[in-house]
Structure 1
């Protein structure tokens, strides 16, 4: 593929960055956390946008813009040949997510079809209260999440859609798709937010969402949740913005692009929260029930509780269609840059783009199959590589500190930027993010999701437990050790031609 391929204008890359950042996490994780902790969480989440996410994204964007290669190629040029294994880890970590993220897209298609089916029954006069019970919705979720051939088929279909878009290239494929996907997504979020606020009692949820309880500021869990949500939602440390910026124009404004896309991502999260939290409060029997729903977990909230709530009000099935339509757009728009990262890696190895797209899609279909077939496998991969993104973030920070943050800002970030952030802000953020990253990894692994996080009662390394630390560390080590062993080979294959 020609290296001259690039986005046609600033909006092309901003929309691509928004598509990368605005994903399923905005619609299923943010509302749960905002509903649980209210305005205190939102304040801290906004703070971490500027402390963690924006500085790391600025660094990633400037690396991709300067070296215009895949994550491995650009990173090894930036950090030095000894550290190519770090770029290798960042790439495989994000690919680990891409392999199961198409399953999220498949679920969204399942529920979009489910919502349309029940909407048609609603207009035919069916009593949705009797056919949309909690038990039925839970059984439906359990059925599609485990051993369901339709889910596997939709997983492959989603990848087929991605192939159709990405074979056309960045300008004629990814950019044109985002011009439709992102505005449509925001319109749907605004529509569903307006409808939710007009449900009787919805204002209670809005007050709760933005109400600040000072006690939450003394809870370290709220701080960690705010940091992790900002890190994962914006895509800081994923390598995706490094991939997209490789297609940026020579004089692209690094700072303005990152600020606009980051704030746009947060606006999408706020809209999703306004759409869901007031609905939960308005349609729950009591405030206690509403809190119970919001704290029931990401998947439970999205796939079992939201349909139940929407089906309980006049016109609710239509609202459900809009919600899952938005959910599909968010999931699919984020899937595209993940596959593009894979494609860029393959084209760096000398493959033509169309062949690289097909290989990337086939690999995603094969390696994503276990997650499409088993919810336990999906949850394990989400756990392993979700936390792994923090390691990736630290790997972005490390060479920046080694080279010198002032040098990077003066030579790589500021030259083409009309908007320039203070040098001190960038420097302090990058240094304190080392501590934030280490604390986040330590805290996440110490939460005790598994009763036997390291060893079984028999003293066996508990690698096959869904949420065990042993499983996380084993998979990380496999990637890190293979990267170290292949470091010289990686440099040879990805060196600048």
Structure 2
């Protein structure tokens, strides 16, 4: 990549040092808790392969539309959502309105990062506890539940939460190439390797075959159930991190030589592989004990899986591998979520990167400590309203306001062959309405992400 070509207002803007550095960073932003504690549960609840079919359809749709669009818009603006939306609306003489709307995904990213900080504190405590013995110490599922309830209460995990945030900010202070890119080049490959190891281990456990059958069966009744399609849409939408913030800001660090559609395809592929790896570990592991996987969310990760792992041969090592892998996946997502507000502070307050990190870290520490007891409701509010709204706004800006000619120029930069002519109409008339549909369905059903 040519860093010198990535300029804004005559100044060299930070950029990724390599194509795979950028791709791994985007994969890191996409691979998170939804791949681990939600995907497996939904595969189990909605008919295995009957869920996978619509999920893959929606991954292809969103990866080939929204992900490409947000990366391209970020690269075109060489800035975050505020300036990007302002730039698009300036064509209509409404720059201030565009900048005001751009605040929505930025504040949404900060709020989501703050909520995620609480979760990362839990994960860090459990990961460390696998080495001290504390994680697997409880004697029953009720004891695991009681300990998690205590940790997830108001001010129940202060120290580990602050450490998780400090580790994230330490990486971000090094910048895009030396911080975000290097961290993802280490954390993402290790995550995949660790989950492959777990998958191989589970494969050789008695009863695991029932789990594989459960994953790949196609329940025709489930396939015809609208809820299967709705929750597959929600899973794909939120997993690919289209929200008008993180993917857009990573795109702003790209050179014009980058083939964005090809990069987006790789991101969607590896995000799906990560989700499948998690399912191929968790569902067969549950099958080995005869347990049914009907619990999702934090309860699965911090109560039911530790209780299951404790009963398995080599439980201490398995717990170490599992929670370290989860920690790495979570950290890469946290880095992405904090990057948009940090970049915005840099641009708007004209301060250095370290100062911007310290400002956002101060906000993150205070607010994350205050919301520990209500983090579930906090995250639900954001995923139902703010994330699909941010994605929809970015889509409207790029595909409805900027117009076809502008979109095609930006998407085709760095490509040898022109991207499909169908791209623009599909994005304008299918992807943008899908964002609105996700918002409506989330409100109606209390969240589908």
TM-score for the superposition, normalised by structure 2? 0.91
Residues 399 and 407 of structure 2 are in contact (CA less than 8 Å); yes or no, is this contact kept in structure 1? no
1:142 to 146, 149, 152: 149
- Unaligned segments of structure 1, at least 5 residues: 122-127, 450-466, 468-497
Shift in CA distance, 410/436, structure 1 to aligned 2, threshold 3 Å: closer
Residue 424 (structure 1) aligns with: 422
Q: How big is the shift at 1:116?
A: 2.5
Write out per-residue CA displacement over residues 363-396 of structure 1, whole angstroms, 9 at most, x where no aligned residue: 1111211233x1xx10111111111211111112
**SS of equivalent to 1:446:** helix
- 1:214 is aligned to 2:188: no
Residue 118 (structure 2) aligns with: 103
Residues 63 and 264 of structure 2 are in contact (CA less than 8 Å); yes or no, is this contact kept in structure 1? no
2-structure distance, mates of 1:430, 1:39:
30
- 1:303 is aligned to 2:302: yes
- 1:370 is aligned to 2:370: yes
Residue 206 (structure 2) aligns with: 200
2-structure distance, mates of 1:312, 1:209:
22
Residues 52 and 227 of structure 1 are in contact (CA less than 8 Å); yes or no, is this contact kept in structure 2? no
Write out per-residue CA displacement over residues 461-481 of structure 1, whole angstroms, 9 at most, x where no aligned residue: xxxxxx9xxxxxxxxxxxxxx
Q: How big is the shift at 1:29?
A: 0.9
Shift in CA distance, 69/425, structure 1 to aligned 2, threshold 3 Å: closer
Residue 243 (structure 2) aligns with: 237
1-structure distance, mates of 2:113, 2:143:
30
Residue 380 (structure 2) aligns with: 383
Residue 71 (structure 2) aligns with: 61
Aligned pairs for 1:434-453 within 5 A: 434-447=432-445
Residues 74 and 81 of structure 2 are in contact (CA less than 8 Å); yes or no, is this contact kept in structure 1? yes
Residues 89 and 392 of structure 1 are in contact (CA less than 8 Å); yes or no, is this contact kept in structure 2? yes
Q: How big is the shift at 1:172?
A: 1.1
Residues 119 and 318 of structure 1 are in contact (CA less than 8 Å); yes or no, is this contact kept in structure 2? no
Residues 82 and 98 of structure 2 are in contact (CA less than 8 Å); yes or no, is this contact kept in structure 1? no
Q: How many residues align?
A: 431
Residue 273 (structure 2) aligns with: 267
Shift in CA distance, 438/246, structure 1 to aligned 2, threshold 3 Å: closer
- 1:276 is aligned to 2:291: no
1-structure distance, mates of 2:211, 2:134:
25
Q: CA RMSD in A?
A: 2.1
Q: How big is the shift at 1:426?
A: 4.4
Residue 3 (structure 2) aligns with: none
2-structure distance, mates of 1:66, 1:243:
11
Shift in CA distance, 120/210, structure 1 to aligned 2, threshold 3 Å: closer
Shift in CA distance, 299/120, structure 1 to aligned 2, threshold 3 Å: closer
2-structure distance, mates of 1:72, 1:118:
47
Residue 85 (structure 2) aligns with: 75
2:34 to 22, 25, 35: 25
- 1:132 is aligned to 2:139: yes
1-structure distance, mates of 2:100, 2:402:
21
- Unaligned segments of structure 2, at least 5 residues: 1-7
Q: How big is the shift at 1:404?
A: 6.0
Residues 7 and 248 of structure 1 are in contact (CA less than 8 Å); yes or no, is this contact kept in structure 2? yes
2-structure distance, mates of 1:230, 1:144:
30
Q: How big is the shift at 1:319?
A: 1.1
Residues 102 and 335 of structure 1 are in contact (CA less than 8 Å); yes or no, is this contact kept in structure 2? yes
1-structure distance, mates of 2:376, 2:361:
21
Shift in CA distance, 245/425, structure 1 to aligned 2, threshold 3 Å: closer
1-structure distance, mates of 2:417, 2:65:
14
2-structure distance, mates of 1:120, 1:23:
21
Residues 76 and 410 of structure 2 are in contact (CA less than 8 Å); yes or no, is this contact kept in structure 1? yes
Residue 360 (structure 2) aligns with: 360
Residues 231 and 237 of structure 1 are in contact (CA less than 8 Å); yes or no, is this contact kept in structure 2? no
Residues 88 and 397 of structure 2 are in contact (CA less than 8 Å); yes or no, is this contact kept in structure 1? yes
2-structure distance, mates of 1:163, 1:448:
32
- The 10-residue stretch of structure 1 (50-59 or 330-339) with the greater mean CA deviation from structure 2: 50-59
Shift in CA distance, 439/241, structure 1 to aligned 2, threshold 3 Å: closer
**SS of equivalent to 2:206:** coil
Aligned pairs for 1:392-431 within 5 A: 392-403=390-401, 406-418=404-416, 421-431=419-429
Aligned pairs for 1:444-483 within 5 A: 444-447=442-445
Residues 187 and 328 of structure 2 are in contact (CA less than 8 Å); yes or no, is this contact kept in structure 1? yes
Residues 205 and 280 of structure 1 are in contact (CA less than 8 Å); yes or no, is this contact kept in structure 2? yes
